[in-house]
A and B are shown apart, each in its own frame.
Chain A
């Protein structure tokens, strides 16, 4: 589904990603771990097309299509979703309006008619229940006045509404208490299917107790320095990142 080869990317002349290789197939959950500032969020941003980063080398293929140079919205319409580490507040744009616009734009891209209003409302209600969101979203502006936990739940809610093929969750667990973490994990697990895939970026092993990955990768200084099964996460938990750092020296 996603194939990244020798990806090098920089921002303002500073190289952040120094040759990433990653293969993600349908049905898989990949965890990307690593200390702060090693390029985890940059990798997520580059995949979804944030233009502040410059791709120096390498390729990113999604379902065989080259993502480099593809507009952000087109990547989304192709089925890529990013759960933001820091979701943006957009005063004046209601959640309902936002979701309806996004869904219909994606449907249009796929040659479908807009979603009928009732179907849309039913879907909203269903996904709100899944994420245990109690707020009325119709009159609430996107993320405005949401607590940290609400914002993260809102990301997974949007993912559930948009039903992407590849979801990248960037530190979705940060700032969540254990109850919210369980709700978020339950949401993700419910949405796991043989034909979709997840990349879960996290600093801590805790999230992976609830979202069990098929593969764990350790990103350090812009490279994936270690890959393994879910047991790698436990090893990191035991030994800490110092162990990786020392192994690199």
Chain B
């Protein structure tokens, strides 16, 4: 097992970026160690295959390394890395034909589901069971809806950051989130009608 480099006094990301640009492999390893968990957790919302998760994480970090010279430092390193990760995930989904781009406008034009009460996870459900059901429902959503939900609900990103990341307006983020939640609720009740009576 490779020794981890977290033991030394942690320099900030900007210093590490400078060192990596100077050719330091150890500094890049430190950057990867710092963010690998968050990147793996993000990718997990798009695929449950551990090999794919690792491949996409690796692709993200290698892309970041190649583009490091173009990192403008206007945002944090993680925001910049995060953008690469999301684009890498979406690109891979497109490559595999999972994200019909032409459907974006159609999807946004679809009226929201009727306003039924949102099911709430039962108090007896374990956290992992809730996560499993949510993941199952998310996987059935179109990518544009899944992405805004993941960024907002799991990554706790502000609307403005989501808009910047996806290159869309805040208004589009709001409407996409609204429709995504409606679709999530609709699909959850289809797959698990038992939760419909508990709210």
Asked if chains A and B come from one complex, the reply is no
